[in-house]
Amino acid sequence: MSSRTFPIIALAIAMLFGCSPADETSEPEAVFIILGSTTSTRDSGLLADLTERFRARTGIEVRVIAAGTGRALEYGRRGDVDMLLVHHRPSEDAFVAEGYAPYRRDLMYNDFVIVGPPDDPAKIRGTSTATDALAAIAASESPFLSRGDDSGTHKKEHGLWAEAGIDPGPHSGTWYRETGSGMGATLNVAAEMAAYTLTDRGTWLASANHQDLEILLEGDPPLRNPYGLLPIDPERHPHVKFEAAETFIHWLLSDEGLDAIDAFKVRGEQLFFADRSDSGGAAAVSD
């Protein structure tokens, strides 16, 4: 360094750092795992609640990377995360079949809803199934926002269009609009454009920016949204913290974890429902 000015600036910045709290990276002995998950579980605050309880119980820190299901699965394939909590069953089953995870466990579910403007130009309030609602939106060419980001919600939406026998692809840019963004960002756009969109109920309830949007369709059985747990297989990626990940999975599937999921509320409403059908199976798998 040839000039004297820069060490001075460096010193000034170093002084600013002086008041910073403890440096997380200076604790190599602390055990942590990286969980690849979805924006819905993070933005609602559920994961912060669960990981804090788990840390208090075991001392293991869970670092959450919130991405769409597609991106989270890619992180898993690359071995950049230790486990996954995602929501697209066909992709999860493929992930196990490809040998990236030794097993998959049901953890919980919530549901998708279709939200839209209160004047409901496509008249979907009168329909009872998601496919009928989408058909009505397509027929009336009312603005519909797609995530367009390969997330679990986006994959779900594609499945529903396929069931309705409609290919919205050619209409992209007209009434069918792909935001390429997360659920929260897409809801913001929907609110501004008074458009329809498919959203998970958790992100919908947690969003502070509904403007005029309302839930127009809910309760159709295909709109159930199950979340699955997948530990990354150490045979594939020897560096993953498989044991710590399994400790977290066992805790989540224990009564303590499942009760915490059921007890979690945002604005007085329960967002996720523990799936107790799988809780007995996890312990056996680790043997």
Partner 1 sequence: MGWIGDALAAAFELIVGGDPELGEIVALSLRVSGTALLVSSVIGLPFGALLGIVRFPGRRGVVIVLNTLMGLPPVVVGLGVLLLLSRPGPLGHLGLLFTPEAMMIAQSILITPIVAALTRQTIEDAFDEYGEQLRSLGAGRLRSAATLLYEARFTLLTAVLAGFGRAIAEVGAVQIVGGNIAHVTRIMTTTIALDTNRGEFALAMGLGIILLLLALAIVGSAEILRGVANRAA
**Nearer Cβ to partner 1 (48/194):** 48
Q: How far apart are CA 136 and CA 127, in angstroms?
A: 9
Assign 116 to helix, strand or coil: strand
Assign 254 to helix, strand or coil: coil
Contact between 48 and partner 1 by CB under 8 A: the answer reads yes
Helix H or strand E encompassing 78: helix 69-78
Q: How far apart are CA 107 and CA 260, in angstroms?
A: 12
Q: Minimal distance in Å, beta carbon 106 to partner 1?
A: 26
Site string for partner 1, 206-225 (x = CB under 8 A): xxxxx---------------
Q: Which two tokens stand for residue 218?
A: 């809910």
Residues 158-217 that bind partner 1 (CB under 8 A): 181-185, 187-188, 191, 206-210
Contact between 267 and partner 1 by CB under 8 A: the answer reads no
Single residue of 31, 49, 70, 79 touching partner 1 by CB under 8 A: 79
Q: How far apart are CA 82 and CA 75, in angstroms?
A: 9
Q: Which two tokens stand for residue 259?
A: 């009760």
- Residue 180 φ/ψ, nearest 5 degrees: 65, 30
Q: Minimal distance in Å, beta carbon 10 to partner 1?
A: 6
Contact between 12 and partner 1 by CB under 8 A: the answer reads yes
Assign 160 to helix, strand or coil: helix
Q: Minimal distance in Å, beta carbon 232 to partner 1?
A: 10
**Nearer Cβ to partner 1 (27/93):** 27
Q: Minimal distance in Å, beta carbon 21 to partner 1?
A: 6
Q: How far apart are CA 164 and CA 181, in angstroms?
A: 24
Contact between 123 and partner 1 by CB under 8 A: the answer reads no
Contact between 26 and partner 1 by CB under 8 A: the answer reads no
* Of 74, 36, 10, the residue nearest 227 (C-alpha): 36
Q: Minimal distance in Å, beta carbon 275 to partner 1?
A: 26
Contact between 152 and partner 1 by CB under 8 A: the answer reads no
Q: Minimal distance in Å, beta carbon 125 to partner 1?
A: 24
Q: How far apart are CA 98 and CA 77, in angstroms?
A: 9
Instruction: Measure Cα distances from 192 to 65, 122, 140, 187, 209 in Å.
Output: 28, 18, 20, 9, 10
Axis crossing angle, helix 46-58 with helix 242-253, rounded to the nearest 10: 110
**Nearer Cβ to partner 1 (49/163):** 49
Site string for partner 1, 27-46 (x = CB under 8 A): -------x----x---x---
Contact between 20 and partner 1 by CB under 8 A: the answer reads yes
Kindly list the residues in this chain that would bind partner 1 in the complex (CB under 8 A): 1-6, 8-10, 12-14, 16-17, 19-21, 24-25, 34, 39, 43, 48, 63-66, 78-80, 181-185, 187-188, 191, 206-210, 237, 239
